[in-house]
Amino acid sequence: MIRGYSDHAANERTFLAWVRTGIALTAFGFVIEKFDLFVLTMASVNSADPARRGLLEKLSGPLGRYDGLVLVIVGVVLIAAAAVRFVRIGRRLDDQQDHSANGIRTELILSALLALAVASFRFYLAFG
């Protein structure tokens, strides 16, 4: 029997939740990247009609080349940070000493950054 099994199981569930979030961000970054490529291809095909081409290029936007890449990188960094946290917390659970809960600050910062990224993409799509 594993000592503190419920704590280890909770640590693993938290790790898997962060990994799932990182995979979702990475996949969404790939979707945005492919959609931008599709829009740029459509703009080049419709080069005979300048008004339509301008509309498609505006849809791509000034950040169109980088926003998908940023999401892919953020997703990979999030998965790496989750792995480091999982190992660190697992070792602390097995340790006999008492430890402070200073890791909460990291989760709050990561959650705030995710919320900021979602809000900025929403603003970009609504007004861009």
For residue range 86-128, what is the model confidence (pLDDT) as tens digits?
998 888 887 777 766 666 777 788 788 878 877 877 777 677 5
State the total domains in the chain: 1
Q: Which of the two residues, 53 and 35, has the higher pLDDT score?
A: 35
Q: Is 44 buried (19+), middle (13-18) or exposed (0-12) by CB count in 10 A?
A: exposed
The residue among 11, 117, 19 whose CA lies nearest residue 68 is: 117
CA distances from 79 to 24, 25, 93 (A): 11, 10, 21
pTM, to two decimals: 0.69
Query: How many residues make up the chain in this entry?
Result: 128
Cα distance between residue 29 and residue 11, in whole Å: 27
Amino acid at 51: A
Domain hosting 38: range is: 5-127
